[in-house]
A and B are shown apart, each in its own frame.
Chain A
Amino acid sequence: MERGTAMGRGAMKPTPPPPVRRIAVDRRPRVVQPGVPATSDAPIGEPGNGAGAAVDGIAGPGTAIAERPGGVSAAGTPAAAARRRIVRPSSSPPVERMRLESVSLAYGERWVVRNVSLPVRRGEVLALIGASGSGKTTLLRSLNRLTEITANAGRAGLITLDDEEIHTIEVNALRRRVTMVFQQPNPFPMSIFENVAYALREQVRENPARALLRSRRRLRRSQLEPAVREALHRAGLLDEVADDLHRPALSLSGGQQQRLCIARALAADPEVLLLDEPCSALDPISTAVIEDLIVELRESVAIVIVTHNLQQAQRVADHVAFMHLGELIEYGLAEQLFTEPRQQRTREYISGAFG
């Protein structure tokens, strides 16, 4: 764990401090109607990047590929050569859950993310791509305030979950609603069952004396079993481990471990799932299984995935955000961004000129 040497927050003077703005609070979930240019949902990062049109493409009838303006055949892209794009349009229209407005993030004096504005919607997968050090992971970790465990982290801007500023939500409650899966599979050294059950056990936040009295009445194994099996089923792992849920999690293969981590992250029934390069430590077969899983899960939970693998982004993502040196360069519909990037730097990155 990185522990900074900076003396504290007081010493930090943010260089570009965009003032925290309050947005009008609208409690209703925002439904993006197909066919209606969702101007209010358009990201602020790039003027006129046609996010409304992008939403059309995804939510409209027919396949997403057929809607692409250029009409270039999918076989022409490098990803299609490796594996067919598995994204079908989501059956339900995307619903906005999280929203980033002019988010800037800093470690000490160094701003690693500047002025990023993005929507995160249920029913679609948002992929963050970009070279190492472009701030993707930091941005992802800020969505459930995991950046805060680094001592000298600073922030500016506004992040909302269902129109509620996330810093006003109790941090552990937020992290149960916005869970995360990491690059390295990191199951706890316990049984498969306990790994998932751990996420299910609620934190007692009440009078400490009463909590102490109640602690003997912890949830029983049999009470948790259906929920554990459900989570394992959603992560597509149940069939492989159903015969013995009580064997050590570390005896699973790497791909199974990562799916166990996804099951663990799904167990608390989160609203947003954050994936930080979930496949970079896995072999192609495990990767394919997890990619299918991601596409399936987006129906019920908003997914943000950070990936270095452009083919992967092409295979799973509906929208893609390209970041470079902490700034959001381009945001758009996946197939449009990969075939007709508007920005020079995006073009260079996806053609392998840097990164």
Chain B
Amino acid sequence: MTAAEPALQPPPVAAIVRPRRESTSSWPLVDRLAYWLCWAVGIGLCVVAVGIVLFMFIKGISALRPNLFVESPSQGVLQEKHSGGFLDPLIGTFIVTAIGIAIALPVGVGIAVWLVEYGRPRWLMRTVESAIEMIAGIPSIVLALFGLLLFARSFFGLLSGSTSAGEVLGQSFFNAGIVMSVLALPLIVVATREALLQLPARTREASFALGKTRATTVRRVLLPSIRPGVASGAVLGMGRIIGDTAIILILLGTLKLEGAGGAPLLSTLRGTGSTLTYYIYYYAPTGDGNSPKKAYAAGFVLLMIVLGLNALVTRLTLRGSGERAAVRGIFVRAWPWSGGRPWGGGR
């Protein structure tokens, strides 16, 4: 129904008067000081952010070697040439993230749906909300400690290897992933809950008025419409998991992947290993590894992964908004031949 309208012509006026930016010269001194301070702080933050990225970029690029990606690390070897790369920590990062998200996503979405769509009795809903906030506030090292004590019980023997004396070790990818999921849970719950709350009540009513149950409404209408919100919560949770060191330190703690015996994949998951954060911790100038260059290289890779995830969040949350069109416009201008797709071929 949108007919093409002729573009509006500017009115025939000789000179267009536009408002000038307000001058601060008439302001009281205190106001002016505060104004310039705000500017300074904002610019300062940008400088810090750019500085970190640039520093890691320069240090990282110069230390990055292709063989780092394909070689396993060897703990205890102090010569830089023979101590290997970060293949195992890279794999470990993916394993821990996958396990953590695989648990946190369904549980978190479920909790959020219950909180918003059901939420009865009220006191239980408030209690759950407080519990989520509390979990979000627990330092990860405390979580790790709790996890180690819990998973070292013989009841959880299947999840990790055991010592020759038959005691359950409590350290494994399974255990680290489970504890990591607790870390990511609040982020997913909050993102999903906010997205659900933003859906207008009339969307739900429309579905109820067609004779659909609450469960059908959630599954067929509500969850599909909040997919971007859930996805950005999941990506934030992944970022949190990837960046955590304390849980890896306590619940994994060996540089190389060390299986616990049994079937190949299961052996790895029940066994120990490390992630990039642990690798950096080990090779940092203050650590035991004696090759700070490897820490810089791994730090650069880690930063790239996290920045990539951040870009993904931005992309997901901008979906359908005007801002996204603006971002897309930049791409279209840069790659006009493929409609803004840098990977697209000329058509």
Which residues does chain B contribute within 8 Å of A203, judged by CB atoms?
211-213, 216
Chain A CB within 8 A of B24 CB: no
Which residues does chain B contribute within 8 Å of A100, judged by CB atoms?
none
Contact B211 A175 (CB under 8 A): yes
Q: Is the interface of B mostly helix, strand, loop or mixed?
A: helix
Contact A265 B209 (CB under 8 A): yes
| A83-B37 Cα distance, complex, nearest whole Å | 64
Chain B CB within 8 A of A186 CB: yes
Contact A149 B205 (CB under 8 A): yes
Which residues does chain A contribute within 8 Å of B201, judged by CB atoms?
1
Interface core residue of B203, B210, B220 (most chain A CB under 10 Å): B210
Which residues does chain A contribute within 8 Å of B206, judged by CB atoms?
182, 186-188, 261, 264
Counting contact residues on chain A (CB < 8 A from B), the size range is 20 to 34
Chain B 167-194 interface mask (CB, 8 Å, partner A; 1/0): 0000000000000000000000000000
Which residues does chain B contribute within 8 Å of A180, judged by CB atoms?
205, 209
Counting contact residues on chain B (CB < 8 A from A), the size range is 20 to 34
| A256-B1 Cα distance, complex, nearest whole Å | 10
Which residues does chain B contribute within 8 Å of A186, judged by CB atoms?
200, 202-203, 205-206
Contact A189 B209 (CB under 8 A): no
| A268-B200 Cα distance, complex, nearest whole Å | 24
Given contacts A198-B220, A203-B216, contact A189 B211 (CB under 8 A): no
| A146-B225 Cα distance, complex, nearest whole Å | 23
Closest to A180 in B: B209
CB distance from B124 to the nearest CB of A (A): 15
CB distance from A146 to the nearest CB of B (A): 6
| A189-B224 Cα distance, complex, nearest whole Å | 8
Which residues does chain A contribute within 8 Å of B225, judged by CB atoms?
188-189
| A186-B216 Cα distance, complex, nearest whole Å | 17
Contact B203 A175 (CB under 8 A): no
CB distance from A335 to the nearest CB of B (A): 31
| Besides A203-B213, A265-B210, 10 other A-B contacts (C-beta < 8 A) | A175-B208, A175-B210, A175-B211, A175-B212, A176-B211, A186-B202, A188-B207, A198-B207, A199-B210, A256-B1
Provide 15 A-B residue pairs closer than 8 Å at the C-beta atoms, listed in order of the A residue.
A1-B204, A146-B209, A172-B212, A176-B210, A176-B211, A179-B209, A179-B210, A186-B205, A190-B224, A198-B207, A198-B220, A203-B212, A203-B213, A265-B209, A268-B211
- Which residues of A approach B to under 8 Å, CB–CB? 1, 144, 146, 149, 171-177, 179-180, 182, 184, 186-190, 198-199, 203, 253, 256, 261, 264-265, 268
